[in-house]
């Protein structure tokens, strides 16, 4: 009987001990004082677009110029990865290669306008307002936060 009481007491202490270790953390999301607005322009040649008619080539050029503008925005936001390789042999340059790539996610960009520059080139202007990006991320777990206080 004595061991049963001791076992029940140990179980009770163990259960309340787990509850005592429970913590409550409050996170603070800091809003910046200013938000930058990035702008990008993409271009595409109408004559190099596939299509059976001028209208189809024009639509493809508009789409291609939009993708080019998104690529430019991604460069501004995420940067550009550069890979370069130069080979020398017997103190003579044998070959040189350079590659660039861009990878990133652009969320919240707005098409300002799409227009023909001349008879063969279309341009698309995009704008990325970081205030809008902040508002999009504000209620998601992806938003960077700072621990304000923690209670145990």
pLDDT digits (tens, 9 = 90+) for 113-152: 999 999 899 999 999 999 888 888 776 666 556 666 666 6
Query: Domain locations in the chain?
Result: 28-151
Residue with token string 């621990």: 147
Cα 34 to Cα 138: distance, rounded to the nearest angstrom: 16
Task: Report residue 141: phi and psi, to 5°.
Answer: -75, -10
Confidence at residue 2, expressed as pLDDT on a 0 to 100 scale: 63
Virtual torsion, Cα 137, 143, 149, 152, nearest 10 deg:
110
Give the residue from 20, 65, 19 showing the smallest Cα distance to 40: 65
The pLDDT tens digits of the residues spanning 102-117 come to 999 898 899 999 999 9
Instruction: Report the alpha-carbon distance of residue 61 to residue 59 in Å, rounded.
Output: 5
User: Model confidence over 36-77: pLDDT tens digits?
Assistant: 999 999 999 999 999 999 999 999 999 999 999 999 999 999
If you search the block for the tokens 């009481």, which residue do you land on?
5
Q: What percent of the chain has pLDDT over 90?
A: 52
**How buried is 99 (Cβ within 10 angstroms: 0-12 exposed, 13-18 middle, 19+ buried)?**
exposed
Sequence-distant (≥ 6) Cβ neighbours of residue 103 within 8 angstroms: 74, 78, 81
> What's residue 147's pLDDT?
65
Instruction: Record the tokens describing residue 109, joined without a space.
Output: 């960009």
């Amino acid at each position: 009987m004595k061991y049963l009481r001791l076992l029940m007491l140990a179980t009770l202490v163990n259960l309340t001990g787990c509850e005592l270790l429970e913590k409550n953390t409050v996170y603070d999301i800091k809003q910046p004082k200013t938000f930058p607005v990035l702008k990008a322009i993409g271009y595409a040649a109408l004559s190099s677009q596939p299509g059976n008619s001028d209208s189809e080539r024009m639509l493809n050029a508009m789409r291609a110029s939009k993708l080019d503008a998104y690529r430019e925005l991604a460069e501004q936001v995420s940067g550009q990865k550069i890979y370069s390789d130069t080979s020398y042999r017997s103190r003579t340059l044998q070959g040189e290669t350079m590659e660039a790539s861009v990878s990133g996610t652009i969320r919240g960009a707005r098409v300002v306008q799409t227009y023909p520059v001349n008879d063969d080139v279309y341009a698309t202007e995009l704008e990325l307002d970081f205030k809008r990006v902040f508002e999009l991320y504000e209620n998601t777990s992806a938003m960077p936060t700072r621990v304000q206080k923690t209670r145990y």
